[in-house]
Amino acid sequence: MIIISLMFFLVRLKVSDGGTVNLLSKSCGVYNVNELGFQKRQAELVEEPENSEKVYRCSSQEMHIFGTIGSGASSVVQRAIHMTIHRVLALKKINVFEKEKRQQLLNEMRTLCDACCYQGLVEFHGAFYTPDTGQVSIVLEYMDGGSLADVLRLQRSIPEHILSRMLPRLLGALSYLHKVRHLVHRDIKPANLLINLKGEPKITDFGISAGLDSSVAMCATFVGTVTYMSPERIRSENYSYPADIWSLGLTLLECATGKYPYTANDGPANLMLQILYDPSPSPPRHLFSPEFGSFIDSCLQKDPEARPTADDLLEHPFLRKYGNSDEELAAYARKVFDPTKRLKEMADMLAVHYYLLFDGGDEIWHHMKPFYNEASTFSFSGKLFAGSDDIFRALSDIRKKLAGDRPCEKLVHVVEKLHCRALENDGIGIRASGSFIIGDQFLICGDGVRAEGMPSFDELSIDLASKRMGTFHEQFSMIPGSGIGTFVIAKQELYILKP
């Protein structure tokens, strides 16, 4: 088993002959990361009575990965399904052998592992190491909408009443980072504020966040996106939590007007001079309310000591002007990001996920059982099975019959047609049909969604007509489970025909 030991304030990397990767630092905390997950341990030099030790079981072998959905300078983000709970997740992959990226990895894990479910921060579900690629995958909640930068690309601007309703959650998260965790995010911008189809906004990307010893400590490092840097950061002065308030104000102003407030076309040097010496930007008074103008003006004070705290801003009249309606935020998110398209994408992945479990090895087969609940039904060969126990026994019997007496190969699915659609209340409908052939892995024809590691049917050059041992038709109705991004099979019908 390969283990990575992670400590904050990284100074060197050592790789042992036995395949252990040690990241050594002056110690603020220690993380042991391997293929099965990671463990957080208390640092010897730091008193940390609460949450000093945490274990996250999140194995790479328990993930069905479905391609890249985004990338940046330091990481690649992929969608995945955690097969034990049938949850759609996002994997942020960082190469641990690149020094700058290692530090960003540590920052992300430092921030998220102790705030794994804090409202307003993207949820953290663990991490694991992949030896073949040298990457650590940080497992995060999949935000099925997108970022505010995506909203601006699609809508050009965001109405101020929508921004007002997003702010309580975002400011609450900043207050938590500043007051409880003593962290400066240092990269608040539209691309790092996410929203899901429920309308919930959340902060993400803590790769360059900085920890302070106390609420009055300061940072001195010049990192982050220059376009959203506060004046004191550009001047290379010591800075603290007010730097995030400046970035938030600039972000909100850009979202409301649909235009970045400064002229950034003449290069970063000219941009920094504008931020330092031009008057702070302000929303046009004839287009926006006095409350919004007051909020932005408060955030964009040149003097950091004059800026309000996140807690102060939570009491600002702008947050009370339009009330607090989660329903309206959800309606707005669904207007911007087509839920039908998003749910169809999930349906494609869940269908492949199902057949990978069915035709996979015995070591993962037991994960199929929690795909059903006590209200689920399964119809096959004129019989109706109800509840997870009854359905799992029926499926196990079908699976054994398809395996037969062949020691190395069995009858596996080849999906020739797959139709997925969105149902009411965020449900998913799936219809699949195809053939059974003797083999060792489920296959899908054409250009359909494939999980990482799945071979292409076309590349295998299989003569399906000569290999066909039977056909199947199957349809599923899936509904959201109890956790965000989880799904349960509510109704399933299976028909198997011989050639």
Active site residues: 187
Q: How far is CA 68 from the centre of its chain?
A: 12
Tokens 């800026």 map to which residue?
307
CA 453 from centroid of its chain's CA atoms: 21
- Name the residue among 386, 447, 441 with its Cα closest to residue 416: 447
Phi first, then psi, for residue 69 (nearest 5°) are: -115, -5
Q: Please name the residues in contact with 260: beta carbons below 8 A apart, sequence gap of 6 or more.
A: 227, 254
* Tokens of residue 289, six digits: 């309310």
Closest CA to 254 of 177, 191, 340, 181: 191
Question: Does 92 count as an annotated binding residue?
Answer: yes
Task: Give me the residues paired with residue 5 across strands.
Answer: 22, 32
3 state DSSP class of 133: coil
Query: What's the rounded Cα separation, in Å, for the pair 135 and 137?
Result: 6
Could you tell me whether strands 63-71 and 443-444 are parallel, antiparallel, or unpaired per DSSP bridges? unpaired
Measure the CA–CA gap between 79 and 58, rounded to whole angstroms: 15
Residues comprising the chain, all counted: 499
Strand partners, 130: 135
Query: Which residues are known binding-site members for ATP?
Result: 92
